Structure 1
Amino acid sequence: MKVMRVTVKIQGRVQAVGFRHFTLKTALRLGLTGWVRNLPDGGVEAVAEGTREQLDEWLAVLQEGPPASRVEGMSIHRQPADGSFDRFEVRF
């Protein structure tokens, strides 16, 4: 199966609500590699590599977010994977 990369920026109430941990946990469950971090503007950015099916499921779950969050917008950029990640992690 072809591996792809997705960069996603999420806006809304997504900081101080467990969103990074939720993103990490979901990525690990789906077998994705990459990272997630908070942005200075109050959003969250994540980059993940996996199959189209894995990434589509991940994005659908992120759209919902954890219970305390409120996702108001997501920008998604798809590109070819380069295999530069060996795990999924939270970056600071």
Structure 2
Amino acid sequence: MTVMATQRLIVSGRVQGVGYRDYAVRQAKALGVTGWVRNTRDGRVEMLASGEDDALGRFVDACRSGPTLARVDAIDAHPGEEERSAKGFTKRFTA
């Protein structure tokens, strides 16, 4: 049985201006995770990610390291509500 999960993630550190959102999109697509990623005005990155439990866990693990120029200090993860209209994993405008 496949268990689906959704996580809302807030990533802190040096995560803006270093290709972090593009990295998250690539990782999500490779793992079959849907949702979105966006910068926040306070310098963090916010994501809503949905997928099979195992794939979502691997996605969060990948986000802990990020791309080469990033420095991830913390990821605050909470259960989230899946967006039924989500197709793929997309970048959104800053919130």
Instruction: Identify the TM-score tier after normalising by the shorter chain.
Output: over 0.9
* Deviations 1:33-83, CA, capped at 9 Å, x for gaps: 100000000000000110110010000000011000000111001246453
Task: Provide structure 1 residue ranges, at least 5 long, that are not aligned to the other structure.
Answer: none
Secondary structure of 1:57's aligned partner: helix
Task: Provide structure 2 residue ranges, at least 5 long, that are not aligned to the other structure.
Answer: none
Query: Which structure 2 residues correspond to residues 9-88 of structure 1 after superposition, within 5 A?
Result: 9-79=10-80, 81=82, 83-88=84-89
Aligned CA distance change for structure 1 residues 80 and 44 (closer, same or farther; 3 Å): closer
TM-score (norm 1): 0.94
Opposite residue 21 of structure 2, the aligned amino acid is R
TM-score (norm 2): 0.91
Q: Matches of 2:21 and 2:51 in 1, distance apart?
A: 18
What percentage of aligned pairs have identical amino acids?
35
Residue 4 of structure 1 contacts residue 49 of structure 1 at CA under 8 Å; is this kept in 2?
yes
**CA RMSD after TM alignment:** 1.2
